[in-house]
A and B are shown apart, each in its own frame.
Chain A
Amino acid sequence: MGLDTIVAWSGALLVILLLIYSILDIHNNYLSQDIGLLQTIREEGSKFRTDFDVINISYNSSSQLLEVYLKNTGSEIIYFQDYSISRAKCFDVFIDDSWISKDKMKFILLNDSFDALLWNPDEYLKLNISIALSSGEHTIAIVLCNGVKEMETFVA
């Protein structure tokens, strides 16, 4: 094998390597974007599996405490964003369309067996709200982190 053959084969090998690298680079770019999209689609699907119900609402006018019992009726586990059950940061609560400040609310997971940070399907969540309400009919709206909303009317 002459020197010219070695040079020719080396050249061909270099070209093939460059081609493979280019293809892999393009594919990697597309793959990473596809994975990002798939993750978005998967997380969007979780919204359809998320559901909850307001089971009971009671108001104690002397202590100005509103107790709301919620049940996870969906098939999705609901995570508490800031890892603190007492301050579920991305849960929004409105009473008569008015925003309830986070420091007036406390979330307590009931019948929780082992994972204190997760609101599992069929588990109950108690929401205590310190608020002064006039006697009569009021509306409470609760919005979860992913935008799933539940509204209920109650009498104080």
Chain B
Amino acid sequence: MGASTIVSHLILFIVVLGMTITLVSVLTGYVSQTGAVINLKQRSMINEIKTNIKIVSIKAENLSQNSTLKLYVKNTGYVTLKTSCLDVFIDREWVKNFTAIDPDSLELKSLWNPKETILLNVTLPKTLNESEVHEAKVVTCNGVSDSELFSK
């Protein structure tokens, strides 16, 4: 085997090695990114499965515009929820003005622990018909919801 053969083999070897390293590094990137996305999605789905809420009572004394509707909602799931990203719908209409408070101390609640009940003071955006049945719906940050019918 001559020196030229050795050099050509060496060059071929280096080229193949370089290509392999590039391929492996690119594939590793894809695999790790895909793995991370799958893991993230899996955690999000598990979090959703562990989340559950229940509207346990609704007190509607007055159904006129800007009056307060009291929704008592219990965290019946297994994860602590944030009240800042809750959504409230009355008759399928999004309600902007509501506050989440502790029903005993009447202090504002930002974190909502499992088994705890919070009071959502919802300001009605418009007057509701008192002779009809209405629907209140509460949606958590990850999309888990509960709805309940109420009337005066």
Minimum C-beta distance from A28 to chain B (A): 13
**Are B46 and A37 touching (Cβ within 8 A)?**
yes
Report how far A37 CA is from B52 CA in the complex, Å. 14
Known contacts A90-B116, A92-B117, A102-B104; A149/B56 CB under 8 A: yes
**Are A147 and B56 touching (Cβ within 8 A)?**
yes
Known contacts A33-B42, A33-B46, A92-B72; A98/B59 CB under 8 A: yes
Report how far A43 CA is from B79 CA in the complex, Å. 13
Classify chain A: how many residues form its interface, as a range: 20 to 34
Is A40 on the interface with B (CB-CB < 8 A)? Answer: yes
**Are A99 and B57 touching (Cβ within 8 A)?**
yes
A141: chain B residues at CB < 8 Å are 56-57
Secondary structure at the B interface, as helix, strand, loop or mixed, is mixed
Minimum C-beta distance from A10 to chain B (A): 21
Report how far A127 CA is from B42 CA in the complex, Å. 43
**Are A97 and B57 touching (Cβ within 8 A)?**
yes
A143: chain B residues at CB < 8 Å are 56-57, 74, 117
Residues of B within 8 A of A (CB): 39, 42-43, 46, 49-50, 52, 54, 56-59, 70, 72, 74, 76, 78, 103-104, 115-117, 119
27 example contacts (A-B, Cβ-Cβ < 8 A) are as follows A33-B43, A33-B46, A36-B46, A36-B50, A37-B46, A37-B49, A40-B49, A40-B78, A81-B115, A90-B115, A90-B116, A92-B56, A92-B74, A94-B56, A94-B57, A94-B72, A97-B57, A97-B59, A98-B59, A101-B103, A143-B56, A143-B57, A145-B115, A147-B52, A147-B56, A147-B74, A147-B76
